[in-house]
Amino acid sequence: MRKVVFDIETREDFRGIGKYDPALLTISVVGIHDSETDKYRSFVVEEFAELWPILEKTDMLIGYNSDHFDIPILNKYYPGDLTAIKSLDLLKEIKETLGRRLRLDSVAEATLGTNKSASGLQALEWWKEGEIQKIRDYCLDDVRITKEIYDYARANGLVKYKDGSSVRDIKLDTSKWEDREDSSLTHTLPF
């Protein structure tokens, strides 16, 4: 099964556009890990022609808050419909079990013993300063963390989070995560 773990960074936040509508945000960088090549790559908008063939051939997209944030934003750039590709949103899985949302950093710290290298707000500042490489590096770091959390959950059936000074488990049913779906390819680009 070909899996693409991905994350996006934007050029502005919801305060900048005046309402919560992810599709109104613009992308600065998309980062991915492609299981077929076992490589991490990042793309700016001008490089999306290289990204689309990878996504077209993937069986599953994996992200953190990706169903409600990353996919709607990326979909406005894509000539097809990314929702036709199987998606696993780790935040959605956690929320369905725990009953509330958790920050990626909280799950990463408790599960992996690591923290994010920066924040989305810092990435916005880097965009304003023209520091694109810093955004690429930060985005790929989030992709790496998301991939490691996914791998940990698959291997252990759980992830962890910090609850005050305690570390707690969130048991996840990962048994169907990698089941294939018939509609993994969108076939919207001329290959």
Instruction: Give residue 191's pLDDT.
Output: 43
Query: Which of the four pLDDT bands, split at 50, 70 and 90, describes residue 189?
Result: low
Question: How far from 130 is each of 27, 121, 136, 139, CA to CA, in Å?
Answer: 14, 14, 12, 15
In this structure, what DSSP letter does residue 180 have? -
Looking at the structure of the chain, the number of domains it has is: 1
Percentage of the chain beyond pLDDT 70 is 94
Encode pLDDT of 135-184 as tens digits: 999 999 999 999 999 999 999 999 999 888 899 999 999 999 999 876 54
The pLDDT value recorded for residue 53 is 96
**Any domain includes 41:** yes
**For residues 9-34, average pLDDT:** 87
Residue type, 2: R
Query: Cα dihedral sign for 64, 91, 79, 185?
Result: positive
Mean pLDDT, rounded, of the chain:
91
Residue 12's CATH number: 3.30.420.10
Dist. CA 119–CA 46, nearest whole Å: 24
Average pLDDT over residues 61-78: 95
Question: pTM of this prediction?
Answer: 0.91
Asked if the structure places residue 167 within a domain, the reply is: no
User: Residue 19: which domain range?
Assistant: 3-97+115-154
Instruction: Please check whether residue 138 lies inside any domain of the structure.
Output: yes
